[in-house]
Structure 1
Amino acid sequence: MRPAPGARNVSSGIEPTPVQPRPQAAYNPSYVSGHSPIEPNTASFKAHYGLNPIVNAASTLIAVFAKTRSAVSHPDVSGLHQRLIGEIKTLEAELRDLGLKQEVQLSVRYLMCSVLDEAVLNTPWGTESAWAQRTLLSVFHGETSGGEKSFLILDRLRQSPSENLDVIELFYICLSLGFEGRYRLMNRGREALDQVRDELFSIIRRQRGDYERTLSPAWSGLGRTRNPLTEYIPLWVVVALMAAILFFSYSGLRYWLYASSSPVADDIAELVSNEK
């Protein structure tokens, strides 16, 4: 029986259960630059700069999740599975390098496994594949579905928002991109999920503070980069030149008016003389 993503997990614990992954086929880096419509080159999705180091570390998996949800097909589902296992192992190494607590590392890994499994298993090509028999969550945590426990983990994290802000932001991003978990099968689940997302946004805003409304608060102009013309030419020369231009303009306009009105004046004079 295939587990539906977002279904309730029978485990009653909150902490993700770490298990040793079973031996996998060798991870092939060349697959990263293959011709899959979902991930043309995930190296280009990697974020190296940002306020949140956990989101930076998970940026490749986040990008794959966003693309997978809207993909109508995939040419190599088995290859995608192997590649994501390799990407999750890379995420684990980066989280360790950040010096994070073990429970934080497990929470992040659990979330990303749940998110990616849900994305694949809610596509036509994912449900027709063998993914449900070997989900990412089963590989790394020995569980079949994380739709329920993911939100139990989130509830625990929300109890100490200042300490867990980076993971809370990762949850917020995943929810914003379409992760539903246990709310997928609930009545009015969308409304409840929107409320959870709004609450996370409020937590993040309180912890991070209001965003900077000025685009560049320390901006200053370049100042005067060119010397004005008066530093090279005396002011009286400029005034004289302008006066000459005005004089010749006036003279030219007067001549044009005289030349234009002379024929009319001659005609009027001729009419007057004929009447006499």
Structure 2
Amino acid sequence: MQAALREGGVDTNDTSPKGLPFLVAAARPQLNLLYHLRGLHEEPDPEQLRTAVIDEMRAYERKVANANVDTQHARVAHYALCATIDDVVLSTRWGGASNWASNSIVSTFHRDVQGGERFFELLEHFHKDPGRNRDILLLLYLCLSLGFKGRLRVSARGALELSQIRDSLYRTLQSSMGDVEREVSPHWRGINARFSKARFKNLYPAILGLLVLLCAFGYIGILRLLNTDSDSIMVAMAAAPPQGNPSIKVIKPAPQPIEQVDRLRNFLAFLQPEVDRGLVTTSRDGNKVLVRFRNTGFFATGSADVSPNSSV
């Protein structure tokens, strides 16, 4: 039973809550099993589960027998737990497909083959005297809350009738015991406290430091990428013409033209009187001037010296 119940997430070693009647406190493992049976994610082995439940019900029978509990209440409590476990198991897909119905827990211990038909009869009987039967009524109420429906499961108005029975039983228990929790697990919610930022104040420096560190790594990474790309661009620019450093050549302005004196013209003008007298002739060839003297007495015959009697 221990292994089977642990597969369903049930801890059979849970301590009993203070203030609960012994009939209910001793049935803590069975009640936990009922709660977890409907939410199993994996289908258990029905035969293995049945064997484990039988062992646990025998343990419950021994615990109740050793306690100062009314014999009739102990017998009815045992029957109610067996009938509820059968009803919940047979309502599942895997339980309905097994042979659990022909080998039910309630038929094993109580020779009841009608599938817990007596549950509502017993509830009605004990409900007539809630003062004396408060403990057993509380256990029956928990069985209804954990899934027992019996014949009402297939009835057209079963859900409504079951709700009325449960509400009536709740009011009875409330009047005799005070407020009874209508929820199976009333303390599942967290503390209803206002949100406080104090717990997160110590996280701000850590978050800020992390952001600064991420920004620094991001900056370094981007800088490395830019340097890698710029190196290739600088190499390409260095190889592009013109080679070497650029220079500026200063062009000197052209010199002012110097007015040239036409010496040949002056020379010809100088000889013009002799030309007019027929003493000489001139002819110009480019930059050269040829002067011919027409005076035959200028040189003596066979002499290279100018005759003193010549006149020009």
- TM range, smaller chain: 0.5 to 0.7
Q: Deviations over 1:43-89 (max 9, x none)?
A: 24x52533321110111101101111232543322111111111111
Q: Does the CA contact (< 8 Å) of 1:161 and 1:203 recur in 2?
A: yes
1:90 maps to which of 59, 81, 86 = 59
Could you say which residue in structure 1 is the equivalent of 2:106? 137
Q: Deviations over 1:4-45 (max 9, x none)?
A: xxxxxxxxxxxxxxxxxxxxxxxxxxx51468631454224x
Structural mapping, 1:80-119, within 5 Å = 80-119=49-88
Structural mapping, 1:165-180, within 5 Å = 165-180=134-149
Structural mapping, 1:194-273, within 5 Å = 194-210=163-179
Could you say which residue in structure 1 is the equivalent of 2:89? 120
Could you say which residue in structure 1 is the equivalent of 2:289? none
Q: Does the CA contact (< 8 Å) of 1:38 and 1:74 recur in 2?
A: no
Q: Does the CA contact (< 8 Å) of 1:42 and 1:60 recur in 2?
A: yes
Percent pairwise identity: 31
2:45 maps to which of 62, 66, 76 = 76
In the TM superposition, what is the alpha-carbon distance from 1:146 to its structure 2 partner?
Answer: 3.6
3-state SS of paired residue (2:13) = helix
Could you say which residue in structure 1 is the equivalent of 2:13? 43
Which letter does structure 1 place at the counterpart of 2:92? T
| Residues 72 and 129 (structure 1), Cα distance of their counterparts in 2 relative to 1, 3 Å cut | farther
Could you say which residue in structure 2 is the equivalent of 1:189? 158
Q: Does the CA contact (< 8 Å) of 1:33 and 1:41 recur in 2?
A: no
Going by fraction, where is helix more abundant, 1 or 2?
1
Could you say which residue in structure 2 is the equivalent of 1:63? 32
Which letter does structure 2 place at the counterpart of 1:183? L
The total of aligned residue pairs comes to 180
Larger radius of gyration: 2
In the TM superposition, what is the alpha-carbon distance from 1:158 to its structure 2 partner?
Answer: 0.7
Partner Cα distance (2:5, 2:12) in 1: 12
Q: Does the CA contact (< 8 Å) of 1:57 and 1:95 recur in 2?
A: yes
**RMSD of equivalent CA atoms:** 2.0
TM-score (norm 2): 0.54
3-state SS of paired residue (1:130) = coil
Which letter does structure 2 place at the counterpart of 1:52? P
Which letter does structure 1 place at the counterpart of 2:110? H
3-state SS of paired residue (1:42) = coil
TM-score (norm 1): 0.60
Partner Cα distance (2:129, 2:104) in 1: 30
* Structure with higher RCO (Cα < 8 A, 6+ apart): 1
